[in-house]
Structure formats: structure tokens, C-alpha cells
Amino acid sequence: MQKVCASPEDALADLQDGASIAVSGFGTSYGFACSLLVAARDKGVRNLTLVSNGLGAVGQLRGMLLVASGQVSKLIVSFSSRPGMRTPADDLIESGDIEVELVPQGILVERMRAAGAGIPAFYSPVGVGTPIAEGKEVRYFDGKPFILEQALAVDYAFLKAYRGDRLGNVEMRGSSRNFNPAFAKAAKHAIVEVDEVVDVGVIDPERVGLPTILVDRVVQKTVEPDQAQLAPRRPADKPREYFGKPSWTRQEMARKTAALLPAPSFVNLGTGIPTLVSNYIGDRDITLHGENGILGYGRMVHGDEIDHDVFNASGQFVAPMPGVSYFDSVTSFEMARSGKLDAVVLGAYQVDQEGNLANFSLGDARLGGIGGAMDLVAGKRQLIIMMEHRDSKDRAKLVRQAQFPLTGVNCVDVVVTDLAILRRIDGHFVVEEIADGFTFDEIQALTEFELKQLAVSR
């Protein structure tokens, strides 16, 4: 059984207008089938439905390549846009030229896993009380609401892996397997772009990540990923000023958040500022979890320490710790939704006095990045929010009522800002710590709702 194609173009010979394509890859990082994306662009097929975690940026070899070339009419994604990154997708969505469906990451892979398993629909606790639930059937189980989600099948899956053989057995490395298994199962034609084609028998049977029956075609990559654009470093960490005084820096916020985490524990760190927490865990008994399929990673690494197949859910390269394990995103979100995580740390646009969280969109619910946040909130034991106390326009982020679309309802337990640490106790946010040089009254003046003061340390 010969499944190796001579070229990406040969692998896409039957790709036609109107096809639905699932594109693997996580965040804006490594793991995209760049050669297949370029071949699809050059083939000129149009009216495509693109299913993916995110689109990447303009100029990157990601799903954005097909959007920018005008070949996509519908998106089913976890990220349709990202803060500070204006793309052609934003314009096309706002004008109505591209239809978009934002889907939580865990639900995206579960919908595709269900399609591959012959399951037409399932009930999920994710997104209750948010725009994701609008228009969907809700049923109650054990007194709790669950949303009906439909299975999602596609015509093609463009996948990326380490090695493949003539039979179609495929090996994946590290945390880069993420969406690959679920996408392969949901596709009529699963096409895997590999770094290397090897002889049958070279891949250890225990390392086969996708067996031949789930793979239709294998092709060796012809286009190198644009690794120079992967996981850019953050700009210099300068404190903001309030009342003419410096606040905590992001690094200081990360250090204080790390100190709040229980040990032993399993903890998920969201995108943005929360990723910095991994640099302050040290040798404490805290195991970090990533939605892309990694359990047991440590600090962020650079230069010669980088392994391009070991990254966190933000696409930042990280150090694997002793005892690290890798798996796909379906398994990762099973861990999250089932309550196995002791703490989740997320960023936010707004938190209101009821403990509601808004962190995926600044207004238009079609534009934004849900990522894995809704899944994480649905199964969390403790939710810690890290964010600056005021936004870039000096507006309150701790508000009486959230104005942005909600990610989770009544779910926030602790907030760490660049000015204070606040804990929600008996329905009120209580200030536990204040940045040096500031007073409780000053923190209150920068916050819309009433705070309570319990024990303040400086």
C-alpha cells in the first residue's frame, strides 16, 4: 500500500473549489503544513472553509496565507484575530465577505474527534452563559446546564509530523501533535507533511502517532517553516505609572502569582502575561499543563536550548522537565474539563464585581481569540486572573459589569494586577496585597466596584 506522494502538488491533485480543510498547528508557532498550504494557494482553489486553531499573521506560512489570497469564504477557528495584529481576516470578517464561527479549542477538537468516531453530537459544559451558547440546545444533567455541540467533519486535513513511512504510519514529536489526531480522524482525506520519509519498520510501533488507517497521503516537506518569526520575545518589561508612581512590572506580577499557586498541584498558564509564571516555579512541586498536549514543562528557553517540538500553548519554546509527557489536544482538554487542574491562570480584558470574566473579544464576538479559556474555566478548581489594573486607554478593567462578551460566568477567584492582589470572598473582592508606595484608597479610585480591605501587606 503506497501512500507517499511525489510532491505537495501531487498530494492535492483532487482538491477542488468549495472544499473544507482542517489545518493543524498551534498558536502562531511551529507545526503547520507549510508546503501543503503553499501548494493549495498556488492551485488557486476558492470558496474554501478553513478549520484551524488560528490563522497566524500576514506573511507567515499559516492559514492566513489562504485568507489573504482571497480563497476562503468561511472560518471555523479558535482565534479569528489577535490583539495588536490587524490582518486581512479582520477586514473580511467585518465586511461580511468571510463567515466566521469562533469555537473553544477543546470543543473544536472534540467536535472533530466525534465526527471521526461516528458520533453526531454531544453535550458540553463549555461556554454556558456566553455568546457561544446562543442558538444552541441546552439540557440539564444533575442540575447543571450543558450545550449541544455538533460533530464537525471535513474534506481534507493538512497535518504536520516528524516522520512517515510508505504505508502511511506517522510519528510525531513532543508537544507538536496537538490537533493532528482529531483532525485526521474527521477528514475524508488526511494528508501528512513530514520532515522525513523513512522505510517501513524504521518507526518504532510504540511511536506511531497516527496509524496507516487514519492517513491517506504522506508527502515530504518542500517548504521550510518560517522559524525566524516563531515565538518572538517580549519587549522590555517597564512598570506603568499611576499617580506618578511605578507599579509592579509583569515579571513581578508573575513572581507573585507563582507564589500563590499551591504545591503539589497541576496548573495551566494561559497566553499573554500568565506565560511568564513558568519562569518563577523553580523546584516547587508544580506541574505545568498546556492545551497543545504537554504536561511537565518549565521555564521559557532561547537559542541553542530550543527544541522546535517542545512549546507551551502560547507557542513559546520551553524546557521539558523530568517526567514530562506529551499527548494530543483531546487528551489535554479531557484533563481540563474533568477538574484535574488545581489552578488555571488566565489574562483578561475585564473582570466584573460578580466574578464574570471577559477575555476573548473587545466587542464583536466574531473577532477575537477564545483559545482554550472556556474549556479551562469549565473545569477549573481555582481561577487566577493576571492583568494590568487599567487598559491602554486608562479605563478600568475591574468593572461593575463587563461590557465585552463573556468567557465565563461567576468564575474568577483571584485577580493579580500590577497594583494589587485581590481575592473574591463571599461575593466581594478583598484586597490582600498592594504594590509598594500605593494605598488602598488609590487602588479603590482606579477600580469601578467597591473593594474590601482585609489584611494588606507591603
* pLDDT band for position 125 (cuts 50, 70, 90): very high
What is the per-residue pLDDT for 232?
Answer: 46
CA dist 389 and 241 (Å) reads 11
What is the per-residue pLDDT across 373-424, written as a single tens digit (0 to 9) for each?
A: 999 999 989 999 999 999 999 999 999 999 999 999 999 999 999 999 999 9
Question: Which residue has 497541576 as its cell numbers?
Answer: 266
* pLDDT band for position 28 (cuts 50, 70, 90): low
Report percent pLDDT > 70 for the chain: 95
Least confident range of 138-142, 161-165, 228-232, 364-368: 228-232
**Is residue 291 annotated as part of the catalytic site, yes or no?**
yes
Cα distances from 425 to residues 325, 353, 429, 431, in angstroms, run: 36, 11, 6, 10
Cα distances from 414 to residues 265, 342, 446, in angstroms, run: 17, 14, 18
DSSP per residue over 276-338, as a string? GGGGG-TTSSEEEEETTTEEEEEEE--GGG--TT-B-TTS-BEEEEEEEEE--HHHHHHHHHT
DSSP per residue over 110-145, as a string? HHHHHHHHT--EEEE-TTTTSGGGTTS-EEEETTEE
- Please, what is the angle between helix 329-337 and helix 105-117, to 10°? 120
Look over the chain and give the mean of its residue pLDDT values, rounded to a whole number: 93
What is the per-residue pLDDT for 82?
Answer: 77
Using the predicted structure, report yes or no on whether residue 229 has a pLDDT greater than 80. Answer: no
What is the per-residue pLDDT across 77-104, written as a single tens digit (0 to 9) for each?
A: 999 987 777 788 888 999 999 999 999 9
What is the per-residue pLDDT across 289-315, written as a single tens digit (0 to 9) for each?
A: 999 999 999 999 999 999 988 999 888
What is the per-residue pLDDT across 182-226, written as a single tens digit (0 to 9) for each?
A: 999 999 999 999 999 999 999 999 999 999 999 999 999 999 877
**Which grid coordinates belong to 295?**
504536561
Alpha helices in 83-232 (DSSP H): 88-95, 105-117, 180-186
CA dist 152 and 132 (Å) reads 16
Looking at the DSSP bridge assignments, the partners of residue 22 are 51, 157
Strand, helix or coil at 156?
A: strand
Are 361 and 130 spatial neighbours (Cβ–Cβ below 8 Å)? no
**What global pTM score does this model have?**
0.93
Cα distances from 407 to residues 115, 358, 375, 453, in angstroms, run: 26, 5, 10, 28
What is the per-residue pLDDT for 81?
Answer: 83
Residue of 252, 291, 388, 432 with catalytic role: 291
**Which grid coordinates belong to 177?**
501533535
Cα distances from 133 to residues 47, 222, 353, in angstroms, run: 27, 42, 22
**Which grid coordinates belong to 445?**
479610585
What is the per-residue pLDDT for 456?
Answer: 46
Using the predicted structure, report yes or no on whether residue 458 has a pLDDT greater than 90. Answer: no
Domains (ranges, CATH) in the chain?
A: 8-222 (3.40.1080.10), 241-457 (3.40.1080.10)
Using the predicted structure, report yes or no on whether residue 266 has a pLDDT greater than 90. Answer: yes
Using the predicted structure, report yes or no on whether residue 49 has a pLDDT greater than 90. Answer: yes
What is the per-residue pLDDT for 227?
Answer: 58
What is the per-residue pLDDT for 56?
Answer: 78
Residue of higher predicted confidence among 454 and 127: 127
First to last CA, the chain: 69
